[in-house]
């Protein structure tokens, strides 16, 4: 079985008839590029057999070899394994040879004497392209089949929303990637649950290490993530490993990344770009061995515009990006969440699971939930704590939700935040027509529950009945 902590997920095959060069290149890739999933071959006749047996995604190929030349192998690989990328690393610095290889389908061409940094970056670029291609294929297949390979991973996330199912399918596709994952969404939508699911799906052997970076100043941020050597600063009596080292082989989850200071953003950008960091007080770099997942409730594009978030860091973070829809856009999930939190609250408090009035889901569906799922959970736990009879009281919900959906005397006559718009070329509706439209819309939203519809309109239930008798005289 492949060690899931290796990078990349697929194998990189090095092909050269010089065993010493293969050893040297392997060490360079591991130390400078963090590339550890390496296969080596010094006999060109064995290459096609290796490709049949092993999970190879990238081949680094020499041109001048006995038996089968690199040119011949390139032709065979592109013909029989078009899904595998090939990079030529040759001792020949010939433009004609390089052009011919690129025309045959090689991803890139390097000379063995090329600068090490440029070679590593070219290989990493090929790995990223291969990862994206594989992720797109996997995502397309899941969407086509409308399937999830690991539905059990998402069981803690209570949802039957089509939007969330699409999020789950995307997450399954990108979970094995070593590239950063950005999770966006309002507070209370469940970003940490998705980070846990991504870690579990990645099957990494290391732990999930989480830290909320909001409010950390630059020094604390660096010490928390990078660690320090003994004597690095006053009070540093012993060396301490940072969270990056603790997350080795696993996932590092940085929550509230939008609140990171500009100085800390620079440090995080360098970590992601270079794949290495320096513990405080050390002049020896360490390589990051963890996948980075970040989350924020902030609008990062807006923060870029006002200059408080670096554009280059944003684009480095959003290689893979997920947006969690707010609860108000997932009203179908309300009944599931209501039952789930009622059961959870009753178990924690030691009470039987209470029933609830049939109008409760209707009341909840007409509330916008600024605190999202976290707010819903708090409301339900509060209601279960206070209830004394077999049926859950509506009072807790009315106190919070009713204040937000009723039209208050103090705000009557003030314009709404989202006014109805009319066709400027058409006739203006009469007040009587608008009255009827409002009543019908309120009844629709309340599923014909007149008590709730009256509350939505800010009038009493008898007043609503009176209006209905006028507008529906035959009923």
Handedness of CA 394, 396, 400, 402 (dihedral sign): positive
Does 108 have pLDDT greater than 50? yes
392-406 mean pLDDT:
74
> Among 49, 34, 35, 25, which Cα is nearest to 116's?
25
Secondary structure class of 210 (helix, strand, coil): strand
Helices marked H in 308-418 — which ranges? 311-317, 334-349, 360-365, 372-386, 395-397, 403-405
Find out whether 102 and 109 touch, Cβ atoms under 8 Å.
yes
Q: Which residues pair with 344 in a beta bridge?
A: none
Confidence class of residue 462 from pLDDT cuts 50, 70 and 90? confident
Does 320 have pLDDT greater than 60? yes
Does 267 have pLDDT greater than 90? yes
pLDDT at 394: 83
Does 341 have pLDDT greater than 70? yes
By residue count, the chain amounts to 475
pLDDT tens digit sequence for 31-78: 888 899 999 999 999 999 999 999 999 999 999 999 999 999 999 999
Gap between the Cα atoms of 405 and 223, Å rounded: 47
Which residues, in sequence order, are CB contacts of 444 under 8 Å at separation 6+? Answer: none
Gap between the Cα atoms of 112 and 21, Å rounded: 9
Cα dist from 239 to 211, 233, 277, whole Å: 20, 11, 16
| Unique residue bearing structure tokens 């009038």 | 459
Confidence class of residue 2 from pLDDT cuts 50, 70 and 90? very low
Q: Which residues pair with 291 in a beta bridge?
A: 251
102-130 mean pLDDT:
92
Find out whether 225 and 243 touch, Cβ atoms under 8 Å.
yes
Find out whether 77 and 84 touch, Cβ atoms under 8 Å.
yes
> Domains in the chain, ordered, with CATH?
11-133 (3.40.50.2300), 148-324 (3.40.50.300), 326-405 (1.10.8.60), 429-475 (1.10.10.60)
Cβ burial, residue 117 (10 Å; 0-12/13-18/19+)? exposed
| % of the chain exceeding 70 in pLDDT | 93
Which residues, in sequence order, are CB contacts of 35 under 8 Å at separation 6+? Answer: 7, 8, 12, 29, 123, 124, 127
């Amino acid at each position: 079985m492949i060690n899931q902590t290796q990078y990349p997920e697929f194998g990189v095959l090095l092909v050269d008839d010089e065993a010493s060069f293969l050893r040297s290149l392997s060490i360079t890739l591991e130390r400078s590029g963090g590339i550890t999933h390496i296969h080596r071959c010094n006999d060109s006749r064995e290459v096609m057999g290796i490709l049949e047996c092993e999970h190879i995604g990238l081949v680094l190929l020499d041109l001048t070899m006995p038996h089968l030349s690199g040119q011949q192998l390139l032709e065979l690989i592109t013909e029989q394994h078009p899904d595998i990328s090939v990079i030529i690393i040759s001792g020949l610095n010939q433009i004609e040879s390089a052009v011919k290889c690129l025309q045959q389908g090689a991803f890139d061409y390097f000379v063995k004497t090329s600068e090490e940094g440029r070679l590593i970056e070219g290989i990493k670029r090929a790995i990223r392209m291969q990862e994206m291609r594989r992720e797109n294929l996997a995502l397309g297949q899941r969407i086509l089949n409308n399937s999830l390979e690991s539905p059990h991973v998402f069981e803690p996330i209570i949802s039957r929303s089509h939007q969330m199912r699409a999020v789950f399918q995307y997450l399954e596709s990108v979970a094995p990637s070593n590239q950063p994952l950005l999770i966006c969404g309002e507070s209370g939508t469940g970003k940490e649950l998705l980070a846990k699911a991504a870690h579990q799906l990645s099957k990494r052997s290391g732990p999930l290490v989480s830290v909320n970076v909001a409010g950390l100043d630059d020094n604390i941020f660096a010490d928390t993530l990078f660690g320090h050597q003994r004597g690095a600063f006053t009070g540093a009596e012993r060396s301490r490993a940072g969270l990056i080292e603790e997350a080795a082989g696993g996932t590092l989850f940085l929550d509230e990344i939008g609140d990171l200071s500009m100085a800390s953003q620079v440090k995080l950008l360098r970590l992601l770009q270079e794949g290495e960091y320096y513990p405080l007080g050390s002049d020896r770099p360490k390589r990051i061995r963890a996948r980075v997942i970040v989350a924020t409730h902030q609008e990062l594009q807006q923060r870029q515009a006002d200059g408080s978030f670096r554009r280059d860091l944003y684009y480095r973070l959003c290689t893979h990006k997920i947006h969690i829809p707010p609860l108000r856009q997932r009203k179908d999930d309300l009944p599931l969440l209501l039952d789930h939190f009622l059961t959870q609250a009753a178990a924690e408090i030691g009470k039987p699971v209470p029933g609830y009035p049939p109008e409760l889901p209707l009341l909840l569906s007409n509330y916008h939930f600024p605190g999202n799922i976290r707010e819903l959970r708090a409301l339900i736990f509060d209601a279960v704590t206070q209830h004394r009879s077999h049926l859950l009281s509506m009072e807790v919900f009315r106190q919070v939700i009713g204040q937000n959906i009723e039209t208050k005397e103090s705000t009557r006559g003030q314009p709404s935040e989202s006014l109805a718009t009319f066709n400027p070329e058409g006739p203006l509706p009469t007040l009587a027509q608008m009255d009827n439209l409002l009543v019908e819309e309120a009844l629709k939203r309340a599923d014909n529950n007149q008590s709730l519809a009256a509350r939505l309109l800010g009038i009493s239930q008898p007043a609503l009945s009176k209006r209905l008798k006028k507008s529906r005289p035959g009923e």
